[in-house]
Structure 1
Amino acid sequence: MLSEFKTFIMRGNVLDLAVGVIIGGAFTGIVKSLTNNLISPIITFFTGGTSDLQNLKLVVTKELTFKYGAFLNDVINFLITAFVVFLLVKFVNRILRTNKKEEVKANPELEVLAEIRDLLEAQKKA
């Protein structure tokens, strides 16, 4: 059972997933820092001088308070993360598309060999 677990863990997919989760966690910290330390102060400047978006709230009664600043912070974090993931996927797709084009261009001999094969098969049938 231990050897099966070792085999499972050492497969490429599991290791790739682990690396992705770790990098994703680190990236989340960077995005939160970007939002809290750069974007929030800019928004704060235009919204009336509140020093932190987290503190923006709408107090209806003592018991009912809407903390829209925290929500706004989370929305900004999500949008930044989603945009960076979009750019990353777009970049990877472009690289993969370029590699496929190079593979097709790199093997013109395969087309010639396929034509020869087809001609030989046609001669056998005739």
Structure 2
Amino acid sequence: MNPLKTKPATSVSARTVMAAAAADIILILAFAAIGRDAHHREEPVLGVLLTAWPFLAGAAVGWMAARAWRSPLSVLRAGVPVWLGSLIGGMVLRALTAQTVVIPFIIVATLALAVFLVGYRLLFVGLARFRRS
């Protein structure tokens, strides 16, 4: 069994799917909030939502394209597609809506979203493996 994949799709509960989706949303909002705070931007709540929406939309596309609900805590089947969807979709939507898309921001977003969206799934897999041993 591949340690980067979790339970097969037939045994994934709706609760697990909802928890993973909620974690993705919260972590993308945290990414946006941290970025806005680092740049001392105005309008904290509305500003975070305006910064986060392209990445949230991209993550939703990643969820759909990968059918992440089948194995929402899998690093390869869900984490990587959701990360890439949020990153690529987010940057494309930012560019289309005249928001800032510069190389330093792309680098920071790539790393931060990877740590957040893939990272918690890696932790989950590691803890599950630890519990089994």
The two structures have a TM-score, normalised by structure 1, of 0.31
Q: Which has the higher contact order (CA 8 A, sep 6+)?
A: 2
Bigger Rg, structure 1 or 2: 1
The two structures have a TM-score, normalised by structure 2, of 0.30
